[in-house]
Amino acid sequence: MSFTRLVRFISTDGNTYTGDAILPAGTYDARKASEAKLIVGDIFGTYTVTDEIKTIIKLLSPLSWTQIPTVRLLGLNYAKHAIEIKMPKPTFPVLFFKPVTAIAGPTDPIPVPKLAQVDNEMDYECELVIVIGKKCVNVSEAEALDYVMGYAVGNDVSQRNWQMKKGGGQWSLGKMFDGWAPMGPAIVSSKLIKDPQALKISTKINGVVAQSESTSDQIFGVAKTIAFLSQGCTLLPGDVIWTGTPSGVGMGRKPQYWLRDGDVVEIELENVGTIVNKVEYENDFKAKL
């Protein structure tokens, strides 16, 4: 028996477990689950979804840092987003990376160090996240989805000043900070997502809608992305691929909107779930906004 919604969580005994979330009828969001069936074994190999039920006290990122070989991200992958920030539609996927230490849980705060607070241009990006389940290389677009374990939703938090102006043309400086890739709330089995290119995706800032789009606006869909990235480059089980953000980011708004200390960012992906993360400036340092 395979999982439907894989979660990693802290239970009543203080220990961390992996389980299959038990959802109330009519729901799809693992944040609404108070219990999960314990999973034992290697989730990328042989595992069992047991009948043992554990109470969920706190949801963590569905994969730990040690389970993720690489965090790949696509930029400019929604047509309307490229238009709003006045950049050309890419001919090939625009790829960059984050360290695994950027990965955080679905309700964790987003810590903002001093370096990211100065000249604050902190932005949000709702994204569909692919989780690779099997080793693959040189796969075709037709077979690419066979290598997907499942999907999550994530926030590619970005500091635009470091990304666009101070990084020497490399985007990673503005995206590298610890906790700046919260994801979850679960890995939803690819068997439950029939068409990853037909999902509503959205962001709310303090309850107000900022992004509302569909994954149908992606320039490079999930299958095309996996096929392209696997050409001559082996994708490993546990690799996560963030597939870009739609229009509505703070940088593209008029006037522009930058995240501030205390802002609550709520990101939802249809049939996958919601993550809610609060911006927290470190060391009580307040940037001049």
Q: Helix, strand, coil: what percent of the chain each, to 5?
A: 20, 40, 45
What pLDDT, in 10s, does the model give residues 108-132? 999 999 999 988 899 999 999 999 9
Q: What is the DSSP letter of 117?
A: H
Torsions phi, psi for 24 (to 5 deg): -60, 150
Find the DSSP H helices in 179-264.
222-229
Q: Where in the chain is the domain with CATH 3.90.850.10?
A: 65-284
What pLDDT, in 10s, does the model give residues 156-204? 999 999 887 887 777 888 999 999 999 999 999 999 999 999 999 999 9
In this prediction the pTM is: 0.96
Class at the top of the CATH hierarchy for domain 65-284: alpha beta
- State the residue for tokens 């089980």: 237
* Cβ atoms of 223 and 145 closer than 8 Å: yes
**214, pLDDT greater than 80:** yes
C-alpha distances in Å from residue 181, one per residue of 34, 60, 241: 24, 13, 12
